[in-house]
Chains A and B, each alone.
Chain A
Amino acid sequence: MAVDAARVKSLFLAASDLADRAQRDAFLGRECGVDAALRERVEALLKANDAAPLPPPGNATVDSGPGKRNPDVIRPATAEHRAKLDAGAVISGHYKLVQKIGEGGMGEVWVAKQSEPIKRKVALKLIKTGMDSKAVLARFEQERQALALMDHPNIARVS
């Protein structure tokens, strides 16, 4: 029996919003009844989605708290709604952009002035709009982790 794609889609979307396994099973049991092919198709899509859930829409700034004592901090930031960036723009409330010093496929690097909790110059790495997917953010986090383990005058420190 052919599975109705529109029905699969609406069941998938409804079930994917149910985080609770038991609730989801009950929902699918009720909706699919004895239609095993339908249930199998919806479960396959749920599995594909659950393997790497899509972040909810409008997920904004990743900011891991105020910086500590180190100068030359690299801090990842991202914002869905970010417009074109210019010098003078303020990011996450306390990083004022001074000058763009680099640009790549994933984003831009700016010299910025941090105002809170202490005043200092930092390098701010900004992810391009549309590039702030889970995988890219994970890559940034890895970079942060790697930098945090290093301590050398020529390597940027991270906090």
Chain B
Amino acid sequence: MADLTDLIEAAQKSDRRAAGELLPLVYDELRSLAAARMAAEAPGHTLNATALVHEAYLRLVGDQKFDGRGHFFAAAAEAMRRILVNHARDRGRLKRTGGRARVELLDQVGSLDESPELVLSLDELLNRLETEDAAAARVAQLHLFAGISIEEAARALEVSRAAAYRNWKYARAWLRDALEK
């Protein structure tokens, strides 16, 4: 298997095959980290997406300086979304979380897994938002699932900070409105 940093470099040169290989690599790493974390913790323990993503980054990339962070975070957000959705489904009977509490979790990055039901709703809502406004959905996915700040999401998406912020403001209001229904 190719090295992650090689893949990211190739992905940056818009090599689609490399971008395609990046996701499974990041996904496997995140999934094994998540599994190890769940095994070590008491039942009912939740995953901290932010911590997992940063740990995966350190394991795969190390602390060397490199400019492919955006590609890594995009893959990590997508992978983390799938992991959390699968995890939420595995948890069987879902704990009901009220509209208000669900909406508040949107502002507690990394705490999404506290509500499996919210993860499943968000997955569905982000698919819907994606068809209406792909740019807003991308910022929301990076922020909510990779747990990175809006500023970091702007760098990852190579857009201005102001543009990322406005997209998040819109996506957040859109999600809050939909979740309260």
Contact = CB atoms under 8 A, between A and B. Distances in A.
A54 interface: yes
Interface string A15-47: 010000000000000000000000000001111
Nearest to B104: A135
Interface size class of B (residues with CB under 8 A): 20 to 34
Nearest to B168: A54
Contacts of B48: 105
Interface in B53-94: none
Given A13-B166, A45-B177, A130 B147 contact: yes
A51 B107 contact: no
A85 interface: no
B177 A48 contact: yes
B107 A12 contact: no
B50 A128 contact: yes
B7 to A, nearest CB: 25
A80 B108 contact: no
A16 B169 contact: yes
Contacts of B173: 12, 16, 45-46, 48-49
13 contacts: A12-B173, A13-B170, A46-B173, A47-B177, A49-B172, A49-B173, A54-B168, A57-B151, A58-B161, A130-B148, A130-B149, A131-B50, A135-B108
B152 A130 contact: yes
Interface of A: 5-6, 9, 12-13, 16, 44-49, 51-52, 54, 57-58, 80-81, 105, 128-131, 133-136
Nearest to B177: A48
B135 to A, nearest CB: 10
Contacts of A129: 149, 152
B169 A13 contact: yes
Contacts of A130: 50, 109-110, 143, 147-149, 152
B162 interface: yes
A44 B177 contact: yes
A47 to B, nearest CB: 7
Given A6-B133, A129-B149, A54 B172 contact: yes
A128 B174 CA distance: 26
A80 B149 contact: yes
A5 B169 contact: no
A134 B110 CA distance: 14
Contacts of A16: 169, 173
